[in-house]
Structure 1
Amino acid sequence: MLFHVVPVDEWTADVAGPYAPASLTSEGFVHCSADESAALAVADGPYRDVADLLVLVIDESLLTAEVRWEGSRDMLFPHVYGPVERAAVTGVLAVRRDEDGHARELTPWV
């Protein structure tokens, strides 16, 4: 499974087609994380000030786009080189923050 952090409004903007965030155009791939703890770290870093934040759980075997594990030798990140079919998203989790605003847990999004 892959994990992708996304603001709610971006995930729900165009539900008719595959998910294609801005990074797909600007960088050529969709940034993902390898596990829930890495996704929480992303939510607590670059997305620290985003109130309504989700984590998509993506089944890599259901993607038609290539997935490459890239980065430094000690830290590899999965990158999806194409849009993410919504059928490949097997779960959607909400980021829950503590009273200080730190991303602490993932819970089912309803």
Structure 2
Amino acid sequence: MSADLPQTAYKVLTGEQMAALERDGQFAGAPVDLADGYIHLSTGDQLTETVDRHFAGQDDLHVAAVDLTAYRSVKWEESRGGQLFPHLYEPLLLEAVIAYGPLRRDEDGKVRLPITG
């Protein structure tokens, strides 16, 4: 992985998906992930826009911070507006999640990142 790319990315999960990850120790992906063949992740800078675009109006959302160095199958691929997004081509493992919690926003509406380490 390139030194200039983040080593942590974020996955937005519904409450049901978060419970499944905790219970099973892994998550194969949301319906859109399964359809596309990879798990969609976002960088910290991309996270608020991802939530606003793809999870608008939904409650009971959670954010998981994922240690990308735990995987060999992460590909940085161009998506929205030419930005590079991390895509995970294997199940998300609970052991690679370094922090998670309910989705919360700052006063300015930006999604707060889960506190790590």
Q: Alpha carbon RMSD of aligned pairs, Å? A: 2.6
Query: Gapped runs of 5+ residues in structure 1?
Result: none
Aligned mates of 1:20, 1:27 — CA distance in 2: 12
Aligned mates of 2:50, 2:63 — CA distance in 1: 10
Where is the strand percentage greater, Structure 1 or Structure 2? 1
Q: 2:48 aligns to what?
A: 40
Deviation of 1:2 (Å) = 0.9
Distance 1:45 1:24, change over 3 A: closer
Aligned mates of 2:66, 2:76 — CA distance in 1: 15
Q: 2:103 aligns to what?
A: 95
Aligned pair partner of 1:60 in 58, 62, 68: 68
Q: 2:88 aligns to what?
A: 80
2:43 counterpart letter in structure 1? A
Give the TM-score of the pair, scaled to structure 2. Answer: 0.74
1:39 counterpart letter in structure 2? L
Where is the helix percentage greater, Structure 1 or Structure 2? 2
| 1:11-32 deviation per Cα after TM superposition (whole angstroms, max 9, x unaligned) | 1135224111133421110000
Aligned mates of 1:60, 1:108 — CA distance in 2: 15
Residue 113 of structure 2 corresponds to residue 104 of structure 1: no
Distance 1:24 1:44, change over 3 A: closer
Distance 1:82 1:23, change over 3 A: farther
Q: Are the aligned partners of 2:62 and 2:102 in contact in 1 as well (CA < 8 Å)?
A: yes
- Identity among equivalent positions (%) equals 28
Distance 1:87 1:46, change over 3 A: same
Aligned mates of 1:2, 1:58 — CA distance in 2: 5
